[in-house]
Chain A
Amino acid sequence: MIYHWLRSHWHAFILVLKKLRHAPVANLLMAAVIGATLSLPAGLYLLADNIRQAAGDITIEPQISLFLSLNATDGAVKALDQRLKENHGIKDFNFVSKETAWQEMQRNSTVADTGLEKNPLPDAFVIHPKDTEPQAVDKLQKELSELPNVEHTLLDAEWVKRLYVLLQMSTKAVVILTSLLGFALVAIVGNTIRLQILTQREEIEVSRLIGATDRYIRRPFLHAGLLHGFAGGLMAWLFVYIALYIFNASVQDLALLYSADFLLHMLGGQASLILLGGAAGLGWLGALLAVNRSLAELKAVAKR
């Protein structure tokens, strides 16, 4: 039974492939249209994913850095330490001495060859506020900046926050784009299948008269829809890959200059599978809707 089912599907599949081969240009164009459509959400997703990964190391927790004046004494540092301990607005803090900072900097390859011989860095405290509300953090920062021997304060959470908001927005944009363009894909494939059904009307009518089930009639069109969608998904993947390749080639020089890794990575295995599977599924759905509508129309005509 299952063998029979598989075999009949396989034969319908081969037949569809043969038919598609009759119009290679039209079918390639079709795949390209679907591919271009799908490459938009896929590309946006890729971009967001890259930024997310780059931002992965950064915590969203706001962090205030207190840079002390260069001539602050050990006693002054101790006194400050005490005052920070007494401050109820602080969750925790740690002290980064100028020596530690210097060593850290020297280990970092990007600034290894700065030519600096003397340590220009000040002592610093890194503070995490208890209350992470932007207003509370601002207040704390102001308070801390007025402490003696504090030369400069730096709140380094703003841009992270903005980045996360952006990332959230881009995730929403990917969802919206995918829904809209997924709908477009269903419509494109559905329309193509409808035209195909029209050209095969005679065959369908005769087949029904001599004992074809609806399932038999649907089968090749569903396969065709699946294939159209899959080919489109493949095209979208290819388009994104090409765009990525061009982008990466152009930032290569820049990346070398900063000896940093600016290269964008391609869609992962899972995302690629979702793209291909989703495209194939939507193509199938488009075909199903088209073929059901056409069959209903044909039956209505036959009744007349």
Chain B
Amino acid sequence: MIKFDGVTKRYPGGFEALKNVSFEIAQGELAFITGHSGAGKSTLLKLAAAIERPTTGSVIIKGQNVGKIRQSGLPYVRRNFGLIFQDHKLLYDRNVYDNVALPLSIVGVTGREAGKRIRAALDKVGLLPREKAAPITLSGGEQQRLAIARAIVSRPSILLADEPTGNLDENYARDIIELFKSFHQVGVTVIIATHDARGIARQGEQILSLQHGVLA
């Protein structure tokens, strides 16, 4: 499903955030990416989601080499993913419902069908009663869950989450990890980046451990 082969990512300015990274994540797998702050976890996820391109090496998503796809083709590759950003990237000029509507609008799903899916996604993360609320009025954990709802609403086959348990207390963090496990159980490929390995119950999931851009 996702294959990195000798991937190096050098940012403009010369800093190498990833060095010769190779791994493969199969369809339906649950994988964790761990490592210290600055280890390159977010960079790895951005490469996996076709947001950044590798400097050298190849990133293959569903058989497509991201480095070889034309600019105009990238949006269609990105639609395979549900993305939960480290900084959430919620839109504060619209309510909860409209935030979740964005990915659907991008793929042209609107109207009643969209409404059904948006409410289902909000229900899944327990935010249905808050659909009219402004994101700014939500608690940190609720904003996190809103970001998750937006990521799952278009029913992506791959879910990428960057520090989804970031600033949450232990109970909340466990809830969220359980939520991802439930997606994994219905066949979604789930990749979670986290600096904190507490929530990870080892049940055979793949764990990629990064240190200064190198896979340990």
- Is A bound to B? yes
A to B contact number (C-beta, < 8 Å) = 52
Q: State whether A4 touches B83 (Cβ < 8 A).
A: no
Decide: A207 and B108 in contact? CB cutoff 8 A: no
Q: Which of A1-58 contact B (CB under 8 A)?
A: 4, 7-8, 11
Q: Are B72 and A210 in contact (CB under 8 A)?
A: no
Comparing B73-81, B119-127, B174-182, the segment that makes contact with chain A is: B73-81
Among A8, A203, A212, A303, point to the contact of B75 (Cβ < 8 A): A212
Task: Judge whether A211 and B103 touch: CB under 8 Å.
Answer: yes
- Report yes or no: B79 in contact with A7, Cβ–Cβ below 8 A: no
Given contacts A206-B91, A211-B78, A304 and B106 within 8 Å (CB-CB): no
B79 touches A211 (CB 8 A): yes
Q: Bound state CA distance, A210 and B170, in angstroms?
A: 29
A212–B12 Cα distance when bound, in Å, is 25
Chain B residue at minimum C-beta to C-beta distance from A8: B108
Q: How far is the CA of A202 from the CA of B49 in the complex (A)?
A: 19
Q: Is A216 an interface residue (CB 8 A)?
A: yes
Q: How large is the interface on B (under 10, 10 to 19, 20 to 34, 35 or more residues)?
A: 20 to 34
Check A211–B89 contact: CB distance below 8 A: no
Pair A11/B105 contact, Cβ less than 8 Å: yes
Q: How far does the Cβ of B154 sit from chain A's closest Cβ, in whole Å?
A: 8
Q: Does B107 count as interface, using CB distance less than 8 angstroms? A: yes
Distance between Cα atoms of A214 and B73 in the complex (Å):
11
| In the complex, B26 has a CB within 8 A of chain A | no
Q: Does A213 make an interface contact (CB < 8 A)? A: yes
A residues less than 8 Å from B91 (CB atoms): 202-203, 206
Complex interface: chain A residues within 8 A of B108 (CB): 4, 7-8
Question: Quick one: which of B83, B93, B106, B110 contacts A212, CB cutoff 8 A?
Answer: B106
| A interface residues, how many (CB within 8 angstroms) | 19
User: Smallest CB–CB gap between B82 and chain A, Å?
Assistant: 8
- By secondary structure, the A interface counts as helix
Smallest beta-carbon distance B50→chain A, Å: 9
Find the A residue at minimum CB distance from B77. Answer: A211
- Decide yes or no whether B51 CB sits under 8 A from chain A: yes
Contact code string A196-212 (vs B, CB < 8 Å = 1, else 0): 00000011011111111
Contact between B12 and A210, CB atoms less than 8 A apart = no
A213 contact from B72, B81, B83, B93, Cβ within 8 A? B72
- Which chain A residue shows the least CB distance to B11? A304
CA distance A208 to B12 in the complex (A): 21
B102 — which chain A residues lie within 8 A by C-beta? 203, 206-207, 210
Question: Is A206's CB under 8 angstroms from B89's CB?
Answer: yes
Residues of B within 8 A of A205 (CB): 89
Chain B's closest residue to A302 (CB) is: B51
The answer to whether residues A211 and B72 also contact, given A206-B89, A304-B12 and a CB cut-off of 8 A, is: no
B62 to chain A, nearest CB (A): 14
Q: Which of A4, A214, A303 makes the CB contact (< 8 A) with B12? A: A303
A211 to B83 alpha-carbon distance, docked (Å): 10
- With both beta carbons as reference points, the residue of chain B lying nearest to A14 in the complex is identified as B110
Cβ-neighbour of B83 out of A209, A214, A303 (below 8 A): A209
Most chain A beta-carbon neighbours within 10 Å: one of B75, B93, B103, B110: B75
- Given A11-B105, A202-B91, A203-B91: A210 in contact with B110 (beta carbons within 8 A): no
| Contact between A211 and B75, CB atoms less than 8 A apart | yes
Q: How far is the CA of A304 from the CA of B81 in the complex (A)?
A: 24
**Set of chain B residues within 8 Å of A203, measured between Cβ atoms:** 91, 93, 102
Distance of A11 Cα from B78 Cα, bound (Å): 23
Complex Cα spacing A206 to B103, Å: 10
Query: Which chain A residues (195-240) contact chain B, with CB distance < 8 Å?
Result: 202-203, 205-214, 216
Least Cβ–Cβ distance between A168 and chain B, in angstroms:
49
Given A203-B91, A209-B51, A209-B83, residue A216 in contact with residue B78 (CB < 8 A): no
Q: Is the CB of A216 within 8 A of B106?
A: yes
Question: B residues within 8 A CB of A214?
Answer: 72
Contact with A along B81-105 (1 / 0, CB 8 A): 1010100010111000000001101
Which single residue of chain B is at the shortest CB-CB distance from A12?
B105
| Contacts from B to A (Cβ < 8 Å) | 12, 49, 51, 72, 75-79, 81, 83, 85, 89, 91-93, 102-103, 105-108, 110
Given A210-B81, A211-B103: 10 more A-B contacts, CB < 8 Å: A8-B110, A206-B91, A207-B102, A208-B75, A209-B51, A209-B83, A210-B79, A210-B83, A210-B103, A213-B75
The 4 A-B pairs of least Cβ separation, nearest first, read: A211-B79, A211-B78, A212-B106, A213-B75
**11 A–B contact pairs at CB < 8 A?**
A8-B108, A202-B93, A208-B75, A209-B78, A209-B89, A210-B81, A210-B83, A210-B103, A211-B75, A211-B76, A303-B12
Q: Which residues of A contact B (CB under 8 A)?
A: 4, 7-8, 11, 202-203, 205-214, 216, 303-304
